Amino acid sequence: MSDVTALADRAREAANALAATSTDQRNRALLAMSHGLVARQEEILAANARDIEAARAKNTAAPLLDRLELTPVRVKSISEALRSLALLPDPIGEVMSGSRLANGIWLQQIRVPMGVVAMIYEARPNVTADAAGLCIKTANAVILRGGSLAQESNRALTKVLASAAVGSGMPEGCIQMVESTDHAAAEELMSLHGKIDVLIPRGGAKLIQSVVQNAKVPVIETGVGNCHVYVHAAAIPKMAERIVVNAKCSRPGVCNAAESLLVDAAVYETVLPPILKALEDAGVTVYGDEKTRSLGAIMRIQPASEDDWGTEYLDMKISCKVVSGLDEAIRHINTYGTKHSEAIVTEDYAAALRFLNEVDAAAVYVNASTRFTDGGEFGLGAEIGISTQKLHARGPMGLTALTTTKFIAMGSGQIRE
Amino acid sequence: MSDVTALADRAREAANALAATSTDQRNRALLAMSHGLVARQEEILAANARDIEAARAKNTAAPLLDRLELTPVRVKSISEALRSLALLPDPIGEVMSGSRLANGIWLQQIRVPMGVVAMIYEARPNVTADAAGLCIKTANAVILRGGSLAQESNRALTKVLASAAVGSGMPEGCIQMVESTDHAAAEELMSLHGKIDVLIPRGGAKLIQSVVQNAKVPVIETGVGNCHVYVHAAAIPKMAERIVVNAKCSRPGVCNAAESLLVDAAVYETVLPPILKALEDAGVTVYGDEKTRSLGAIMRIQPASEDDWGTEYLDMKISCKVVSGLDEAIRHINTYGTKHSEAIVTEDYAAALRFLNEVDAAAVYVNASTRFTDGGEFGLGAEIGISTQKLHARGPMGLTALTTTKFIAMGSGQIRE
């Protein structure tokens, strides 16, 4: 039996034992994990320093190094996130519905853990602790497979978190990591149908696609966002400008940032120039269609190709297209969008209603920035990721995304005719 | 572009248009489909007769022929099922939760259609009509790929159903079938990531496994059931006997039938013989472990191999094992079961509670037959299948399993700090 399969079998044993733990026991484990991170931060920071040194030697880009780096302040913040998790209500055991059937059977549908959750993610050590915490909260065993650049950090974090959890009564094997950084190990993890209940990839489009193409286990796709802001003819121009600039510039590298701007032909000549100017002032490069470029006197606009309509820049870049009206805008978004977050700016009631109904996305906005698509902003308390698929969970995922249900039926000898 | 991809693109167009239809329009379409089946039954029955003739020429087994065959009575019953669907409440548009966020955004999570649903199933023409009806009810476009033996029947049914639906205002392409019966066409359907929102296979273990192994699109696994009845030491013997016989014999070919019997060592010498006798009288072959076989004076018992613990017989056969008690029973079920339906027979309160909590299955029973796991019995109104996975839906799936959610956010110019 391979190491990865053995890991998954241990996780199943742990999951069966976790199903019998109480809310209090799991919350105490989270507090122990939170405490452990701070108490043993020296070994964590030392391991992280080795990762950073190796990454620097490989000429790793600065933003990646930044995401990889741990500091005492960051460890403290990760530790506090685990403490906050302990304070959230427990979704496990919730009776979702129930009734006495005509034959006298007392039927209930209750919320239960998924079982074995696997996470595949990039070189971000904070995800290691987040994922472990979310899984312990929901009584799931977790198998972690982080990016190879963070391997030393992840090993130290997993050791500290698992020993704190086990030390406060959680079963051995509840938090494990895949030791091998080979691609083969990741592929094996994705193939363990029947042993892994859900696999959640977190990272860029390439990682997500690799998982979708290779996985034989159930997957929740997360986080690729080609988000649009559509400025309708009846928009308040100044509001449109503020929303576009916020959606693009407040944090251009995240999935809920706007990547494309659509403007109605009826108003583009007056409404678009100040928006383009504001984007230019913010340092954004615009890739425009012919009509947008005809406004080029305002700023230098790059020509947009067909590819631009489908591109998630994750950068200070935006595509811009003049559309004939609501029909074309909805059609364009449903064709090129990734079904993440989409916004219309309008004061027209009927246009707002049609946009909300007909745009196919996890989150659809009227007169607000796409940047609000976030578990914290939506009041979910904690977030595992943002699902862009329709199965199981859609949009920001809170704790319930790590749960499933079970029918329990209490009878007194009933048989079926 | 291949035929299957073109089909999926037409389905997407239809799905976008379906999202804008009203409950009344869709219910009227269901009534028209129900009417169409009866009004045009001659062409349906003629097509079915051609399938039956071809199947007979291939020496198709009798049970398969029976499932393939349509009669005026069966067409009437399929037609009535569509009429009943029209009378069920519409899940689409339900506001599942909502709140006014601190920043003033009015956030709601609403229930919306999946979009494009694909079904792959065996040669059962009734599934064609069921699936089309369930999808129209929930405003989804559907792509049907039935077993090749039923191809003529499915073509006739699809033609009648689609023309009735389109005739009452549903968009072209809302109900389509894959014309090619090649395996390559099915594989292409499974690979259309981004074009198919969910794929539901319905059929035997081999079909389900082929889909799980090949699909790149989100899948809901259905229906494989290696279900157990566990007779605990504190069971009422007569109740145990009735439940075992009902769970095994009332319909041995379905997924919620029992395939394995577990009996506590403390009572097997007295409790098991009458159960074995009752099974023998019903014509069931028992595959027993050593202790069970030691009771062989009662009846002839076949020796059970390790394989028997994991076998879904779907036949008048059952495996039987004597276990040391609750711990071994739970462990055995969680090891060999398919997480479908599991039952304990006991009058012991603590044993019942532990079984309900620790057995990992879609439906867990105390003192009732596993045969109740069914959308109709559970009061869901309609059933698309029984999910044995944990993602999205678990156990009998009603209309909501064909829906997803969407966050809608109504603002007044909010931007994120």
Q: Fill in the amino acid letter for A76.
A: K
Flag whether B360 is in a domain: yes
- Shared domain for A205 and A293, answered yes or no, is no
**Taking CB atoms and an 8 Å limit, are A412 and B115 in contact across chains?**
no
By the 8 A CB rule, do B175 and B161 touch? yes
B121 Cα distance to chain centroid? 11
Flag whether B378 is in a domain: no
By the 8 A CB rule, do B347 and A413 touch? no
Number of domains in chain B: 2
Flag whether B98 is in a domain: yes
By the 8 A CB rule, do B368 and B258 touch? no
Q: What is the mean pLDDT of chain B?
A: 95
Domain span holding position A264: 227-372
- The residues pairing with A395 across neighbouring beta strands, listed in sequence order, are A387
* Partner B contacted by A261 (CB < 8 A): no
Q: Where are the alpha helices (DSSP H) in A99-236?
A: 125-137, 151-167, 183-191, 205-214
Tokens of A145: 């497979």
Q: What is the CATH number of the domain that holds A283?
A: 3.40.309.10
120-179 of B, contacting A, C-beta below 8 A? none
Spatial neighbors of A38 by CB under 8 A, at least 6 apart, are A75, A76, A79
The tens digit of pLDDT for each residue in B60-94 reads 998 889 999 999 999 999 999 999 999 999 999 99
* Chain B neighbors of A101, CB-CB under 8 A: 377-379
- Shared domain for A317 and A193, answered yes or no, is no
- Shared domain for B41 and B187, answered yes or no, is yes
* Partner A contacted by B356 (CB < 8 A): yes
The residue among A320, A254, A258 whose CA lies nearest residue A289 is: A320
* Partner A contacted by B378 (CB < 8 A): yes
Tokens of B338: 């398919």
**Taking CB atoms and an 8 Å limit, are A405 and B394 in contact across chains?**
yes
* Chain A neighbors of B16, CB-CB under 8 A: 334, 358, 360
* Partner B contacted by A96 (CB < 8 A): no
The helix/strand/coil state of B97 is strand
Among A99, A246, A389, select the one facing B416 at the smallest CB separation.
A246
Q: How far is the C-alpha of B142 from the C-alpha of B171, rounded, in Å?
A: 12
Spatial neighbors of A313 by CB under 8 A, at least 6 apart, are A252, A259
- What is the CA angle A69-A71-A72, rounded to 5? 160
Count of C-beta atoms within a 10 Å radius of residue A31: 16
- Shared domain for A32 and A118, answered yes or no, is yes
* Chain A neighbors of B198, CB-CB under 8 A: 390-391
Q: How, if at all, do strands A395-397 and A385-387 pair?
A: antiparallel
Q: Fill in the amino acid letter for B252.
A: P
Tokens of A320: 């811009």
Strand order in the sheet with B141-145: B175-177, B141-145, B116-121, B198-202
76-95 of A, contacting B, C-beta below 8 A? none
**Taking CB atoms and an 8 Å limit, are A408 and B363 in contact across chains?**
yes
- The residues pairing with B108 across neighbouring beta strands, listed in sequence order, are B98, B408
Tokens of A269: 């000549």
- Shared domain for B216 and B327, answered yes or no, is no
Say how many residues make up chain B. Answer: 417
Mutation to test the A interface, candidates B197, B389, B394, most A Cβ within 10 Å: B389
- Shared domain for B200 and B60, answered yes or no, is yes
**Taking CB atoms and an 8 Å limit, are B107 and A243 in contact across chains?**
no
Spatial neighbors of A97 by CB under 8 A, at least 6 apart, are A108, A109
Among B99, B236, B409, select the one facing A365 at the smallest CB separation.
B409
The helix/strand/coil state of B182 is coil
DSSP H/E element including A270: helix A268-281
What is the DSSP code string of B359-384?
A: --SSEEEEEE-GGG-STTTTT-S--S
Q: How far is the C-alpha of B359 from the C-alpha of B271, rounded, in Å?
A: 23
**Taking CB atoms and an 8 Å limit, are B408 and A16 in contact across chains?**
no
Q: Fill in the amino acid letter for B122.
A: E
The tens digit of pLDDT for each residue in B289-335 reads 999 999 876 667 999 999 999 999 999 999 999 999 999 999 999 99
**Taking CB atoms and an 8 Å limit, are B415 and A220 in contact across chains?**
no
* Chain A neighbors of B243, CB-CB under 8 A: 413, 415
**Taking CB atoms and an 8 Å limit, are B391 and A392 in contact across chains?**
yes
Q: What is the CATH number of the domain that holds B112?
A: 3.40.605.10
Mutation to test the A interface, candidates B407, B410, B412, B417, most A Cβ within 10 Å: B407
Q: How, if at all, do strands B198-202 and B116-121 pair?
A: parallel
303-332 of B, contacting A, C-beta below 8 A? none
**Taking CB atoms and an 8 Å limit, are A361 and B115 in contact across chains?**
no
Flag whether A381 is in a domain: no
Among B367, B389, B412, select the one facing A413 at the smallest CB separation.
B367
The residue among B118, B112, B113 whose CA lies nearest residue B217 is: B118
Among A107, A372, A412, select the one facing B378 at the smallest CB separation.
A107
Q: How far is the C-alpha of B252 from the C-alpha of B312, rounded, in Å?
A: 10
The residue among B300, B253, B254 whose CA lies nearest residue B276 is: B300
Mutation to test the A interface, candidates B110, B191, B415, B417, most A Cβ within 10 Å: B415
Q: How far is the C-alpha of B400 from the C-alpha of B111, rounded, in Å?
A: 8
**Taking CB atoms and an 8 Å limit, are B409 and A363 in contact across chains?**
yes
The tens digit of pLDDT for each residue in B87-129 reads 999 999 999 999 999 999 999 999 999 999 999 999 899 999 9
Q: How far is the C-alpha of A12 from the C-alpha of B218, rounded, in Å?
A: 23
Say how many residues make up chain A. Answer: 417
**Taking CB atoms and an 8 Å limit, are B20 and A357 in contact across chains?**
yes
* Partner A contacted by B105 (CB < 8 A): yes
Which ipTM value was assigned to this complex? 0.93
Q: Fill in the amino acid letter for A408.
A: I
393-412 of B, contacting A, C-beta below 8 A? 394-396, 404-412
Q: Fill in the amino acid letter for B92.
A: I
39-78 of A, contacting B, C-beta below 8 A? none
**Taking CB atoms and an 8 Å limit, are A406 and B361 in contact across chains?**
yes
Mutation to test the A interface, candidates B390, B402, B405, most A Cβ within 10 Å: B390
CB pairs < 8 Å spanning A and B: 201
- Ranges of chain A whose pLDDT falls below 70: 297-298
Spatial neighbors of B300 by CB under 8 A, at least 6 apart, are none
Nearest-CA residue of chain B relative to A407?
Answer: B363
* Chain A neighbors of B248, CB-CB under 8 A: none
- Shared domain for B146 and B278, answered yes or no, is no
Q: How far is the C-alpha of B373 from the C-alpha of B395, rounded, in Å?
A: 7
Flag whether B58 is in a domain: yes
Q: From the first residue on, what is the mean pLDDT of each consecutive set of 10 residues in chain B (417 residues)?
A: 92 94 97 98 98 96 91 96 95 96 96 97 92 97 96 97 98 96 92 95 88 93 93 98 97 94 97 96 95 81 95 95 98 95 98 95 98 93 90 95 97 95
**Taking CB atoms and an 8 Å limit, are A415 and B246 in contact across chains?**
yes
Q: How far is the C-alpha of A80 from the C-alpha of A70, rounded, in Å?
A: 15
By the 8 A CB rule, do A70 and A153 touch? yes
pLDDT value for B296: 72
- Shared domain for A215 and A239, answered yes or no, is no
- Shared domain for A174 and A289, answered yes or no, is no
Tokens of A76: 């403290």
B213 Cα distance to chain centroid? 19
* Chain B neighbors of A357, CB-CB under 8 A: 19-20
By the 8 A CB rule, do B141 and B173 touch? yes
**Taking CB atoms and an 8 Å limit, are B368 and A415 in contact across chains?**
yes
- The residues pairing with A385 across neighbouring beta strands, listed in sequence order, are A397
**Taking CB atoms and an 8 Å limit, are A369 and B114 in contact across chains?**
no
- Shared domain for A129 and A241, answered yes or no, is no
187-216 of A, contacting B, C-beta below 8 A? 193, 197-198, 212-213, 216
In angstroms, the separation between the Cα of residue B108 and the nearest Cα of chain A is 10
Flag whether B379 is in a domain: no
Flag whether A415 is in a domain: no
- Shared domain for A243 and A153, answered yes or no, is no
Instruction: Please state the pTM of the whole predicted model.
Output: 0.93
Q: Fill in the amino acid letter for A229.
A: V
**Taking CB atoms and an 8 Å limit, are B406 and A362 in contact across chains?**
yes
By the 8 A CB rule, do B134 and B121 touch? no
- The residues pairing with A193 across neighbouring beta strands, listed in sequence order, are A196
The residue among B5, B16, B195 whose CA lies nearest residue A331 is: B16
- Shared domain for A117 and A203, answered yes or no, is yes
Flag whether A382 is in a domain: no
